[in-house]
Structure 1
């Protein structure tokens, strides 16, 4: 320790948690991502001290070597330091560094009628006259901060039901990026029933590096929930489940596929059988990676409040996630927040918080969040050119939602009364920001509950172990002033 530290001691970090292991304890710091295993006769006392209320240790409380290690890894900090400041700086840096991503809703139309769909399924669609405006938005977002890559996420409705627009817009965006020396790549969110037969050429032509396909259980549940809407069923449309299966088979030869398993009370029991089916079809051994994520069907907005009775409880959903973790090979699990087997502090933000990103609705309006598409009063701008309007954000908002754009621009979980006190904040950043915009207190509280239950298991798993049955952090662990 240096001379100043030797005279004042060091303080314990508010972001340290301890997890019992088969031999000793793990301590994990959510702010630095540091993890240590401590064993021996002093391990219980030391880990309890490090993970407890903020305490200033006398200079001679620890040996110099141990104190230096704990200081270097963030378990001990200067007594007068404000750790929240470092989290806030990292959060705003992540917002500023976020890449340019445009979520483009080609159409609100869809050939399937899912019972839980929160979208309007209207006939709104972008057309070829909107291509110039879309390129103008991309140019503006790229040039304002000199960013050098563009990601397009084709979205709907079912985005491939407006293939003419997608083909022309994709070509124009790629041509612009090539002229500016900007990297380009794309992804697609689809129900898997309207793809052309030339998959290899299609993926290559549109520079698609990832596709998300959703399933609602095995065939019986999936087809019952994802029925063809009247007038949309063609002679080749026998089973939306079988069509999606065949598409995934083909796509995995050319690009990554993310499977979203939409779960509620009725189809949760299909998960083991579905994973077995995916394994037998070779999805987890394909040339490109297949990742399967269990998603809880939820009320994402006021329009889907009817979903509340169908939602899995937090306990039920966590049990289903644990089941998926046991059944899936490691390479098929979503590991975006896991580094070297351990959780990691967040370094990226939701696209809705990225200042240079945008969501373009099929109605020609700009939104910040994909879950708001079609809610015109939530719009923050609009497409130029076809509607003879100025560039996005250059004129008045097209809706009474004036000021909502400012909310997104200034949202900062480190300043919120609850989040600022939460020791999970560095790995969570408040969860879904739309939940805060909507004031969904239950959903916000469930985010904290998720980390109390799951963080111990994630850390223990990094050591190749399981946390003790029923072990979870308490509210006192979560909130340490």
Structure 2
């Protein structure tokens, strides 16, 4: 056995824990190659570290091989995982695209790097984008088309969204391609009637930001015309999620909370208020994020140190769970890509017809240079930049520009935010610094909820 398998490098272990039903000292082990966690006795863990596999029973060895704690010997496990990712990417059956139909927005968020102007997609550009999308669907065997509406504030281009969606839905139906859509919105205009118009065009998933309660949020996300945005957005959320159509259509909302030193003390208050308004029971999730630099605007100057944020995130998550919010995953899942940047056909279209590899590039002065663009919708067939910045992340990741080849979490991270690494910043997700705590939280959640697939106890 010792010669057939070796201990994977892609493992994270918790400190020793003693579950009530398990008298022996044990650890929780996270195998990032599969995104699975296991409860494992301390003596077995020490045998793993020592390579004493012959002292383990066959059932234990079988489980460890299935979860890829033990793997066949290889010269370079990182390169193996990278090749698996690239192979899986070539077989993806969903074409995912981001459309930014307007450069306009009502808010002047303190951390936003975009320059907003009153510019929406014109009819000719819209028609060209639809034609390009359908051409891609004809050339490759995609079974699904996923559109994410982004901005600016996309609802300010609602007519364009309805027009483009209507044409795509019709043509996808004729081609046998399933169409669905999501939206990142500031929530200021997401009234019940607007939700119904969007839902008729297959938009069922929304991300909306609230950065604390009342003044804490309003200082971060003020309305350009004057006044606060918090009360309006919260009421919209309550109204829309309370509609019978919202539950009938299985719509969902993720509330993103961007956090720095100024609003960190209001996160728990926001969780409490959202729970009191009934949102925890309405398919509403929470996503805690640190404020980061956006296009060289130094928005991260007031951000918390990464370790401090990671520690607080565990507390916020626990508090949200106590208040009734559910989290799809506490532990990160196995992923083949950090985001859209490495997907060969994934593109971002802005209101001017520019095509980018990253949805944070449009309307941001720093990223207006040609090296950040794949091309333009009117000339993409003649002039195409396949080496746009971030597009070759899976090649550049091997050159030492980040510590990813040495990180045990690469299989569930894919490198994090490529844009940040290219900017000379750290693109690691927060779970890199709180994974052991997440392991324990995930275990106790599953034990409490009696999930159908609890972490198996390994002898």
8 Å CA contact 2:215, 2:228 repeated in 1: no
1:436 aligns with 2:421: yes
Alignment of 1:201-240 (within 5 A): 201-230=196-225, 239-240=228-229
Q: What is the CA–CA distance in structure 1 between the aligned matches of 2:263 and 2:390, rounded to whole Å?
A: 37
Cross-structure match for 1:11: 6
* Distance apart, 1:365 and its partner CA: 0.3
* Distance apart, 1:410 and its partner CA: 5.7
1:179 aligns with 2:174: yes
Rate the CA distance shift 1:277–1:177 in 2: closer, same or farther, 3 A: same
Q: What is the CA–CA distance in structure 2 between the aligned matches of 1:181 and 1:73, rounded to whole Å?
A: 36
Rate the CA distance shift 1:465–1:132 in 2: closer, same or farther, 3 A: closer
Q: What is the CA–CA distance in structure 2 between the aligned matches of 1:168 and 1:47, rounded to whole Å?
A: 58
Q: What is the CA–CA distance in structure 2 between the aligned matches of 1:452 and 1:355, rounded to whole Å?
A: 27
Q: What is the CA–CA distance in structure 2 between the aligned matches of 1:332 and 1:135, rounded to whole Å?
A: 38
Alignment of 1:132-171 (within 5 A): 132-171=127-166
Cross-structure match for 2:450: none
Moved more, 268-277 or 11-20: 11-20
Rate the CA distance shift 1:320–1:133 in 2: closer, same or farther, 3 A: same
* Partner-residue secondary structure (3-state), 2:150: strand
CA RMSD for the aligned pairs? 2.8
Alignment of 1:68-147 (within 5 A): 68-80=62-74, 82-96=76-90, 97=92, 99-147=94-142
Q: What is the CA–CA distance in structure 2 between the aligned matches of 1:195 and 1:68, rounded to whole Å?
A: 51
8 Å CA contact 1:413, 1:419 repeated in 2: no
8 Å CA contact 2:11, 2:32 repeated in 1: yes
Cross-structure match for 1:478: none
Cross-structure match for 1:475: none
Structure 1 gap segments, 5+ residues each:
467-481
1:381 aligns with 2:375: yes
Cross-structure match for 1:461: 441
Equivalent of 2:17, from 21, 31, 41? 21
* Distance apart, 1:376 and its partner CA: 2.6
Q: Determine which structure has more spread, i.e. the larger CA radius of gyration.
A: 1
* Distance apart, 1:85 and its partner CA: 4.5
8 Å CA contact 1:351, 1:369 repeated in 2: yes
8 Å CA contact 1:106, 1:156 repeated in 2: yes
Rate the CA distance shift 1:144–1:38 in 2: closer, same or farther, 3 A: same
Cross-structure match for 1:257: 253
Equivalent of 2:278, from 273, 279, 282? 282
**Deviation digits for residues 35-92 of structure 1 (CA, Å, limit 9, x no counterpart):** 33233xxx34x41342x4xx655x8554555444433442333345643344123311
8 Å CA contact 1:125, 1:362 repeated in 2: yes
* Distance apart, 1:413 and its partner CA: 7.1
Equivalent of 1:48, from 46, 49, 54? 46
Q: What is the CA–CA distance in structure 1 between the aligned matches of 2:59 and 2:224, rounded to whole Å?
A: 68
Moved more, 323-332 or 262-271: 323-332
* Partner-residue secondary structure (3-state), 2:388: helix
* Distance apart, 1:98 and its partner CA: 5.9
Cross-structure match for 2:353: 364
Q: Provide the TM-score with structure 1 as the length reference.
A: 0.80
Q: What is the CA–CA distance in structure 2 between the aligned matches of 1:361 and 1:451, rounded to whole Å?
A: 31
Cross-structure match for 1:329: 321
Q: What is the CA–CA distance in structure 1 between the aligned matches of 2:61 and 2:192, rounded to whole Å?
A: 63
Q: Provide the TM-score with structure 2 as the length reference.
A: 0.83
8 Å CA contact 1:361, 1:373 repeated in 2: yes
1:415 aligns with 2:389: no
Q: What is the CA–CA distance in structure 2 between the aligned matches of 1:430 and 1:185, rounded to whole Å?
A: 27
Equivalent of 1:30, from 29, 32, 55? 32
Q: Which has the higher contact order (CA 8 A, sep 6+)?
A: 2
* Distance apart, 1:10 and its partner CA: 3.8
8 Å CA contact 1:199, 1:251 repeated in 2: no
Rate the CA distance shift 1:342–1:411 in 2: closer, same or farther, 3 A: closer
* Distance apart, 1:105 and its partner CA: 1.0
* Partner-residue secondary structure (3-state), 2:130: helix
Rate the CA distance shift 1:67–1:284 in 2: closer, same or farther, 3 A: closer
